[in-house]
Amino acid sequence: MRSGTGRIVSIFGTGGLACITLMLALSLVPARAEAADLNKGLMRLAEIFGSVHHLRDVCGANDGPLWRNKMIDMMNAAALPSKDRQTMISRFNDAYYDARTRYPYCSSNAAKRANGLFDEAHRLAARLSGGVQSSMSLF
């Protein structure tokens, strides 16, 4: 691992806590967010999951299919219609391939990008869940 890239692995471990937080946020969302805001937020989370899927792999996190599986879990939890599911899958895939093109190997920039995405996911999950503090503490 190159200098400056250890943070992505050490802070986030396998990424399980981040996923738990997002799943908790999703369970709280329908009562607190309008459908359009929820849909927009879920689409952005799909992009984050796609990017993180590549970035954690290239930086040696050895997550395997974790982020793809979490994407599926998120879609199932949200009970999306087929059209929205397809859009989310496209967003996930586009973000994955974009990250793969921009960050073909682990670098400090790749680690910074992954950390920035996790920070964005924190904020998004908090916003979608109405700012529930307990969800933030799981990260």
List pLDDT tens digits, range 49-96: 999 999 988 988 888 888 888 888 888 888 888 999 999 999 999 999
* Domain layout of the chain by residue ranges: 43-131
CA–CA gap between residue 89 and residue 75 (Å, rounded): 9
Q: pTM of the full predicted structure?
A: 0.73
Tell me: pLDDT of 11 over 60. Answer: no
Q: What stretch of H or E contains 112? A: helix 108-128
CB 59 within 8 A of CB 110: yes
Cβ neighbourhood burial of 59 (10 Å; 0-12, 13-18, 19+): buried
CB 87 within 8 A of CB 78: no
DSSP string for 74-94: HHHHHT--HHHHHHHHHHHHH
Confidence category of residue 24, pLDDT binned at 50, 70, 90: low
Q: Provide the pLDDT for residue 110.
A: 93
